[in-house]
Amino acid sequence: MAVTTTQQTAARPAGTEDLLEAAQWAVERLGASAHYVQAYAERTVEVRVECLDGEVLATCVEPREGLACMVRQDGRWRHRAFSVAELPSLPQWLAAADPSATGDAPSWQHAADLGFEPVAAQEWLVGSAAPAHSLRTMEDFTLRSTAVVDTDGVRSATTSRFVRRRVEATVVDDGNRYRGLSRWLERGAGSGTADRDGVPRDVARIAVENAHNSARARLGGRHRTPVVFGPSAAVGLLHELIGHALEGDNFAMGSDYVAGLRKPGAVPASVTLYDDATLADGYGSYDIDDEGVAGGVTVLVSGGELGTPLSSVRTAQRHGHRPTGNGRRRDYRALPLPRASNTVVPRGADDPQALMAPSAEGLLHVGCLGAGMIDLSTGEFHFAALNCAYVTPDGHRVPVRDVSLFGDALQTLARVEGIGTDFGGDSVTCGKQGQMIGIGLFSPSMRFSALDWSAA
């Protein structure tokens, strides 16, 4: 797969002119006192509408406006965030700043009309015919405009708009409460105005079904069986086992685990993994990253060989990596870090139904990967798994809940034995150094010959 080259400029959407002016003003004030200056201006509005059983519980609106500067001065990197009210003090931040170059801080516009209409609380309800359940829904709307200017010639701006909807269904069985989850993402100018008769109830139905499956689960204990990860769940695992190791700052640590990944044959030749910021429907998609570099496609693994580490401007300069347009941050108050956009595994050649053939020990099917972690120094991992089912040796499907997957990453990667022709995507949040950001996961089903897991 071809790798796109980064660009120094990008289209400037309407409504970002004042952000560009603010970023340019900051660079001009600080440029004479540092070897490199990057200014990032942001105007964001986030809206969350939370409902419970057809009634609105809360509506939260968070406007976020400000500017951050990252500089390299005397061999050191420094970062500082300024609210709009603090902008006049920016020229005095660096000790060597030219006091004659202060000038008035640029004007700052307020956010325009959002054009967002949340789903009515009653429209989430599945209907009276459904089994008894409780529904908690969250609808998150984000309108974000940013601009980046630096002393290397970058001058870029972008605007993004999306709605992410999540449903948590709860059923009570014999005094115990069981949950089922579902989510859905919409990007673009039409965000918040999708088919209100279809999408909300479809998302809710899936959550209710998952909750009832959890309530019916009876199998517990510890097991070692083949495991099939459904579409998007498979790449979720590879994102954790390989993607984080190939973030520029983690890759540069040169841990024993990273060294093991780099050995020939550590990753099967059948596995291809890449990061793609250009997808039309990806939660992590963008035209430019949070440092003004054009988003593109970066091959992480191909034919068993590791590709290019994901880099921010700072990690690229520090470690000599090629900039990949993966400098991302939660907001202007945070430092940009090398992060994934959308992690993708292309379709394979195996029939998804054939992948589900159980062994003498049975088989675990994972619908969604949950929270967990990998120790990037050793490769040991532990992850929760959701929407799971155990397939008995004679082919019966039995729901399981509270599933935990654990093991050694290098041993697990060596057990890939099938990649399906199906394909699916998901929108998730991923944490690093206290920053939660949205990423997309896209892949076919994948089968591993043996993994350790436990169920409640």
- The reply to whether 441 and 344 lie within a common domain is yes
Q: Is residue 4 part of a domain?
A: no
Backbone angles phi, psi at 29, to 5 degrees: -75, -30
- The reply to whether 304 and 157 lie within a common domain is no
Range of the domain at 225: 221-455
- The reply to whether 285 and 361 lie within a common domain is yes
Question: Please, are residues 435 and 330 in contact by the beta-carbon 8 Å criterion?
Answer: yes
- The reply to whether 441 and 393 lie within a common domain is yes
Report the C-alpha gap between 291 and 411 in whole angstroms: 37
- The reply to whether 236 and 376 lie within a common domain is yes
Last residue of a domain, one of 158, 191, 215: 215
- The reply to whether 158 and 270 lie within a common domain is no
The pLDDT tens digits along the chain (456 residues) read 232 333 344 445 667 999 999 999 999 999 888 999 999 999 999 999 999 999 999 999 999 999 999 999 888 999 999 999 999 999 989 865 555 555 677 877 766 677 888 999 999 988 765 568 899 999 999 999 999 999 999 999 999 999 999 999 999 988 889 999 999 998 875 555 444 456 788 899 999 999 999 999 988 999 999 999 999 899 999 999 999 999 999 999 999 999 999 999 999 999 999 999 999 989 999 999 999 999 999 999 998 899 999 999 999 988 888 889 999 999 999 999 999 999 999 999 999 999 999 999 999 999 999 999 999 999 999 999 999 999 999 999 999 999 999 999 999 999 999 999 999 999 999 999 999 999 999 999 999 999 999 998
Report the C-alpha gap between 197 and 56 in whole angstroms: 18
Question: Please, are residues 248 and 312 in contact by the beta-carbon 8 Å criterion?
Answer: yes
Report the C-alpha gap between 200 and 183 in whole angstroms: 10
Burial class (CB in 10 A: 0-12, 13-18, 19+), 79: middle
Last residue of a domain, one of 189, 215, 241: 215
Domain total in the chain: 2
- The reply to whether 211 and 293 lie within a common domain is no
Question: Please, are residues 192 and 186 in contact by the beta-carbon 8 Å criterion?
Answer: yes
Report the C-alpha gap between 311 and 297 in whole angstroms: 12
- The reply to whether 93 and 122 lie within a common domain is yes
> Per the structure block, which two tokens stand in for 51?
């409902």
Across the beta sheet with 176-187, what order do the strands follow? 76-83, 55-73, 36-52, 134-150, 155-173, 176-187
Report the C-alpha gap between 231 and 50 in whole angstroms: 28
From the list 177, 181, 155, 153, the residue with the least C-alpha distance to 166 is 181
**Is 76 in a helix, a strand, or coil?**
strand
Q: Is residue 8 part of a domain?
A: no
230: left (phi over 0), alpha (psi -120 to 50) or beta: beta
Q: Is residue 3 part of a domain?
A: no
CATH number of the domain enclosing 55: 3.30.2290.10
Q: Is residue 2 part of a domain?
A: no
Bridge pairing between strands 363-374 and 221-229:
parallel
Q: Is residue 297 part of a domain?
A: yes
- The reply to whether 234 and 211 lie within a common domain is no
Report the C-alpha gap between 249 and 244 in whole angstroms: 9
Beta carbons within 10 angstroms of residue 136's beta carbon: 17
Which pLDDT belongs to residue 113? 72
Report the C-alpha gap between 181 and 197 in whole angstroms: 20
Report the C-alpha gap between 82 and 332 in whole angstroms: 8
Q: Is residue 399 part of a domain?
A: yes
Report the C-alpha gap between 158 and 286 in whole angstroms: 8
Which pLDDT belongs to residue 6? 36
Q: Is residue 10 part of a domain?
A: no
Which pLDDT belongs to residue 120? 92
Backbone angles phi, psi at 138, to 5 degrees: -135, 125
Locus of tokens 């709605």: 163
- The reply to whether 143 and 279 lie within a common domain is no
Report the C-alpha gap between 388 and 380 in whole angstroms: 22
What element of type H or E holds 42? strand 36-52
Q: Return all residues near 396 (Cβ < 8 A) that are at least 6 apart.
A: none
Last residue of a domain, one of 193, 215, 237: 215
- The reply to whether 229 and 105 lie within a common domain is no
- The reply to whether 239 and 169 lie within a common domain is no
